[in-house]
Structure 1
């Protein structure tokens, strides 16, 4: 047998031994909640089954170099999107990658990291759905679409407490980034199978501190789960579904989970959705719905359950 034949056999054997991972994309603007949504899924599945990949690691410039560029971190030219697409293709076929690493605490690009594919790979970031090539790698795609005033508040809190910015710097950056957000980030919404909005309910005058509700647009681009078991009339105070119109006028199912519901009703809704989706275990994992160390959100938990359903169904 020639060396070429041996190499072909090795490659063929290695591909057959690998099980193709399921790739989930979570896209959205800066501080839209991407890491919070993604982390609950990763923690629920465990590191042996699920890997989290941030597209921030594909920054072309560090924070100091970026300050001298004619665009912000929201612009595609500020990222190695071609390398990201290549890496997604490798991961989607069960092959490892040597991933760049961006350290948010210092604003520096540091030593690359070897990433071996696991059963599920969650990819979160600013531009995972920007290119057609990258979009083709994902089994399920999500766009987080909070109201701008909510997102801006989240960004100020996060960047001033964990990333070393002042409030004045964050507010100035938000103004500078707005044109590129409109041009490059928000158009990804059109490519998402599920669009999620965490926000107060406009028609209500809930007191400060009331947990945010969630509205999920469930597009027909993927097979959506049957939630009829969980959407009983008695559950309408906590969760309901209605037919809505998408931005392009097409009909979509819109699932609403109310943050203002009582703790008892929220706990019941979580259990009913968990069983309606046929997920493993008698109760949802504690990792779902977690916001920080001490706060939980039922709308977040149910959103994460729906995404878990999709990735596990794809894995099967």
Structure 2
């Protein structure tokens, strides 16, 4: 038996693979994870970046879940252990055969082969749920929009793309609330960066004012030097303050204002893009996109900051 085990180990030996950089983007349903991810993937390109969603690890399809005492936000409704194994494989440069969940139909599909590239972006409900999963990531993000904003996004998305009525979406939100509080929101404490897109509470802006962003930058990773982007004359676009996190610890909080003209935000974006190592080239237009026609300057700046982290980790 020892000889057989040795032969198996030798047969499984492979050339050393370059370890990819892994980014986690966690958050509740309709928190903006897919929108944030899309711009990053488009800038990096398919030859350098692959993305996947942990919702694919749902254990049951939509019909089966109706008979269960919990929703998709419960760990028992997901193959958490398989997700952990796959994250470890991806972090070591190995391919995986990923399960597939189709949100448009609510059905489980045929597994897909995922080959890790230089960058792997993992978004979904549970990427930061376990200690083992968190250990696989170089950078971790949690999206934490105000609940009224997230509920509005959820109703808009699920009625337009998933065939629900507003009443059905609101009813499902009520059912999911206890599990959201118990299993999804606690992942916030494990993120290097907490991102909140929403209106500024202290301002009485018109309803059509673009949302601003607040980024909590925890000292768990090295954040970029923003002195060039925060130089005098650009403070209208964003400013940095030392504040207290929910646990009372001091953190840097970056406020990115959505109400300023695009020209002012563009100057900040150019400064961050140059710091990434692309001086002289134009900031990618795909950053900040909301759907087919919409655009958010705070989203573009947030994506640029995350790109900076990815490039820095790769170096």
Q: TM-score, normalised by structure 2?
A: 0.96
Distance 2:4 2:280 in 1: 50
Q: Cα offset for 1:233?
A: 2.1
Q: Which secondary structure state, in structure 1, belongs to the residue aligned with residue 263 of structure 2?
A: helix
Q: Is contact 2:276–2:311 with CA below 8 Å preserved after alignment?
A: no
Counterpart in the other structure of 2:170: 171
Alignment of 1:137-148 (within 5 A): 137-148=136-147
Q: Which residue is equivalent to 1:272?
A: 271
CA distance in 1, matches of 2:234, 2:111: 48
Aligned residue in 2 for 1:181: 180
Q: Secondary structure at the match of 1:235?
A: coil
Aligned to 2:108: 109
Rounded to whole Å, the distance in 2 between the matches of 1:98 and 1:139 is 22
Q: For the residues of structure 1 that align with 2:300 and 2:263, how far apart are their CA atoms? A: 15
CA offset digits 1:238-271 (Å, max 9, x no partner) = 1110101111111111111100001221221211
| In structure 2, distance between residues paired with 1:208 and 1:259 | 12
Counterparts of residues 145-160 of structure 1 (less than 5 Å): 145-160=144-159
SS of the aligned residue for 2:23 comes to strand
- Encode CA deviations 1:146-175: one digit per residue, 9 max, x unaligned: 000000000000000101111111000011
2:125 paired residue number:
126
Q: Root-mean-square deviation (CA), in Å?
A: 1.6
SS in 1 for 2:233: helix
Q: What is the match of residue 63 of structure 2? A: 64
Q: Is the 8 A contact 2:276 2:307 kept in 1?
A: no
TM-score by length of 1: 0.95
Deviations 1:61-112 (A, max 9, x none): 0000011110011111110010000000011111110000001111000111
Tell me if the contact between 2:290 and 2:296 (Cα under 8 Å) persists in the aligned partners: yes
Work out whether 1:77 is the aligned partner of 2:80.
no
- Tell me, yes or no, if the aligned pair for 1:226 and 1:277 is still in contact at 8 Å: no
1:269-308 equivalence runs, <5 A: 269-279=268-278, 282-308=281-307
- Whether the aligned pair in 2 keeps the contact of 1:230 and 1:276 (CA below 8 Å) is no
Distance 1:13 1:98 in 2: 18
Q: 2:155 is paired with a residue of what secondary structure? A: helix
Alpha-carbon distance in 1 for matches of 2:273, 2:18:
26
From the superposition, tell whether residues 224 and 104 of structure 1 become closer, same or farther in structure 2 (CA, over 3 Å). same
CA contact (8 A) 1:235 1:269 kept: yes
CA-CA distance at 1:285 after TM superposition:
1.1
What does the per-residue CA deviation read over 1:156-211, in whole Å, with 9 as the maximum and x for residues that have no partner? 00000101111111000011111111100000000000000001111111112111
Q: How many residues align?
A: 313
Per the alignment, residue 191 of structure 2 pairs with 192
In structure 2, the residue matched to 1:206 is: 205
| Post-superposition CA distance 1:213-255 (Å, at most 9, x none) | 0010000001111101110121111111010111111111111
Q: d(CA) in 2 for partners of 1:272 and 1:114?
A: 38
**Which segments of structure 1 move beyond 3 Å, counting only runs of 4 or more?**
2-13, 276-281
Question: For the residues of structure 2 that align with 1:202 and 1:281, how far apart are their CA atoms?
Answer: 37
Displacement of 1:282: 1.7
Indicate the SS of the match to 1:186. Answer: helix
**Is contact 1:227-1:277 (8 Å) kept?**
no
Identify unmatched segments of 5+ residues in structure 1: none
